[in-house]
Amino acid sequence: MTQHLRVGVVGAGRVGAVLAARLRSAGHEIVAAAGESDASTQRIAALLPGVPTEKPSVVARACDVLLLTVPDDMLANVVHVLSASGALRAGQYVVHTSGRHGLDVLAPAAELGARVVAMHPAMTFTGTEIDLDRLTGCYFGLTAGPAEREFAAGLVADLGGRPLWVPEESRTLYHAALAHGANHLVTLVTEAMEMLTAAGADDPAGTLRPLLGAALDNALAQGDAALTGPIVRGDVNTVAAHLEEIAANAPHTMPSYVALGRATLSRAVTDGRLVPIRALRINQLLEEALAESAVRPVYLRDVRDARDGR
Ligand SMILES: NC(=O)c1ccc[n+]([C@@H]2O[C@H](COP(=O)([O-])OP(=O)(O)OC[C@H]3O[C@@H](n4cnc5c(N)ncnc54)[C@H](OP(=O)(O)O)[C@@H]3O)[C@@H](O)[C@H]2O)c1
């Protein structure tokens, strides 16, 4: 364990409450947490029993290590307000958990002499106890100056995690990679479950679990070489049949099927497993199906309906 730390949390959201609970179980003291909504208050009660709820400036003054676990778009403002109000001090550690931000966003704190760290857990959080064990072995995208690196690595170790050092200029790309993999996976899997339900499956999740588990394991181990299915085999007629069925029964999934189909085509050709002439034919089918589907994202429909007073 790093030396005994007095930690404060602004705010007690999904990430803040869970990281604080894990640090507490590693022997550190959580001196106070900020969070006003019912959800944050309930998380403090559930994960950090006995920890007082205070305003952000009070939390910042009370601690030696300040965890800033606020939404990405709020972070700059929170740092600015805390710095300007005199709540931060020289020598204090100020750590945020945003993936896309590095140290730049903490500049007002650094100018006061605070020791700044960007520490992003490469994990998805529910804000409940379930998350605590998931931190074990989880990578944390770390950005810190030379003088803070040892502290940052120690904090990650106390959280049960592993350090992944990310250069300041690569933070957003690092975060885009994780969002593309994890967030788009949720959309992909949910669409697949809907299609299976439409096909009559009564346990879509159970049907997909072994298949997707194997595909994920294979992709993580082998990359493109893990690819199977009609696109990499060049089964033009099968892809055409898929597109017809999707247009008839699950038209809202057409844009993502086509986008991922195109990306899969490119990768299969580059990998040398699909001849370009076949890829061109399949690409043509994909383009035609998309053009005919005329599916508009639901949010565009909602915006238009609201505008037209419907
Ligand atoms: N969720 C994830 O899976 C995940 C994973 C890795 C990293 N992260 C990163 O962790 C950070 C926090 O994300 P989250 O998902 O935990 O967010 P969240 O659940 O929405 O919680 C945000 C917390 O910040 C507080 N807050 C919001 N605006 C504030 C302000 N202006 N001043 C002070 N406190 C404010 C909220 O308080 P109230 O409840 O009172 O509004 C809440 O306690 C983000 O940088 C995010 O990118 C998230």
Over residues 38-80, the pLDDT tens digits come to 999 999 999 999 999 999 999 999 999 999 999 999 999 999 9
Ligand 1 centre distance from Cα of residue 244 (Å): 43
Phi, psi of 115 (to 5 degrees): -100, 115
Closest CA to 53 of 78, 20, 27, 26: 20
- The ranges assigned to domains in the chain are 6-166, 174-299
pLDDT of residue 304: 67
The residues that bridge with 33 in the sheet, in sequence order, are: 9, 53
What average pLDDT does this structure show over 208-232?
98
Pairing of the two strands 115-121 and 139-144: antiparallel
What average pLDDT does this structure show over 137-144?
98
Closest CA to 91 of 52, 44, 147, 41: 147
Q: Which amino acid is at 301?
A: R
Contact (Cβ atoms closer than 8 angstroms) between residue 171 and residue 146 = no
Pocket around ligand 1 at a 6 A CB cut-off: 10-16, 34-37, 39-40, 56, 69-72, 74, 78, 97-99, 120-121, 123-125, 127
| 81, pLDDT greater than 80 | yes
pLDDT of residue 300: 72
| 194, pLDDT greater than 70 | yes
Q: What is the pLDDT of residues 28-37, one digit of tens each?
A: 999 999 999 9
Ligand 1 centre distance from Cα of residue 111 (Å): 24
Ligand 1 centre distance from Cα of residue 32 (Å): 16
| 257, pLDDT greater than 90 | yes
Q: Using CA positions, which residue lies closest to atom 6 of ligand 1?
A: 121
Q: Confidence band (pLDDT; 50, 70, 90) for 295?
A: confident
What's the pTM value of the predicted model, to 2 decimals? 0.92
pLDDT of residue 310: 62
Q: What is the pLDDT of residues 4-36, one digit of tens each?
A: 999 999 999 999 999 999 999 999 999 999 999
For helices 276-293 and 254-270, the axis angle rounded to 10 degrees is: 170
pLDDT of residue 19: 98
> What is the signed CA dihedral for 258, 261, 262, 263, rounded to 10 degrees?
130
CATH of domain 6-166: 3.40.50.720
Q: Confidence band (pLDDT; 50, 70, 90) for 303?
A: low
Q: What is the pLDDT of residues 266-289, one digit of tens each?
A: 999 999 999 999 999 999 999 999
Ligand 1 centre distance from Cα of residue 69 (Å): 5
What average pLDDT does this structure show over 150-170?
98
d(CA 298, CA 290) in angstroms, rounded, equals: 16
pLDDT > 70: percent of the chain? 96
d(CA 253, CA 191) in angstroms, rounded, equals: 7
Q: Which amino acid is at 184?
A: H
CA atoms within 13 A on the CB side of 127: 13
Q: Confidence band (pLDDT; 50, 70, 90) for 117?
A: very high
